[in-house]
Amino acid sequence: MSGPVENQDYARELNRFLVEVFNDILRTEEAYISQCCPDLSVREMHLIETVCRAVDQGRDNRSSAIAAAQRVTAGTLTAAVNQLEAKGYLERVRDSGDKRSVRLRPTQRGREAERRHTDFHRELVEAAVARLSIGETEALARGLGGIAALIRERYPA
């Protein structure tokens, strides 16, 4: 049975690991995006990804819904969409049922960027899982799921 000191050691080690891995993944993702789509930032790529998912899954792709999904203000979203529209990644389309509403859609260029980004994440996960046994993969997935649930419960955005 482990005592409080040993648990503190594990907690410190887990904290260090999560912070370092999170930062490593972000740096790796930034480097990958700068190679495949040098005119995009990570934030812009994630916005494109959110729009693509909303469209593909039949979810609300109005500007207001995308802003909520990205957890940004309408003004912040407008500025980002202006840039992505100018770069040819997204387009605004008036809602046919409500002309006041604007829907966001990816262009072909946006779809290609999103595909490359998805490929990056798939390759990263496949490489990580290849190093683990099935049991380790299952335990990691359960553990990370628990951490994600905790963060969403304790620190809602």
For the chain, the domain total comes to 1
Full residue range of the structural domain in which residue 118 is found: 39-154
Domain assignment of residue 9, yes or no: no
Q: Which two tokens stand for residue 26?
A: 């972000």
In order along the chain (157 residues), what is the average pLDDT of each group of 10 residues?
A: 70 90 93 95 96 96 94 95 98 85 95 96 95 96 93 85
CA 67-69-75 angle, to 5 degrees, is: 15
Domain assignment of residue 19, yes or no: no
**DSSP E strand boundaries for the chain:** 90-94, 102-106
Read off φ and ψ for residue 92, nearest 5 degrees.
-100, 140
CATH number of the CATH domain containing 65: 1.10.10.10
Q: Is 90 helix (H, G, I), strand (E, B) or coil?
A: strand
Looking up tokens 């008036």 gives 94
The predicted structure's pLDDT at residue 16: 92
Q: Global pTM?
A: 0.83
Q: What is the C-alpha radius of gyration for the chain, rounded to an integer number of angstroms?
A: 19
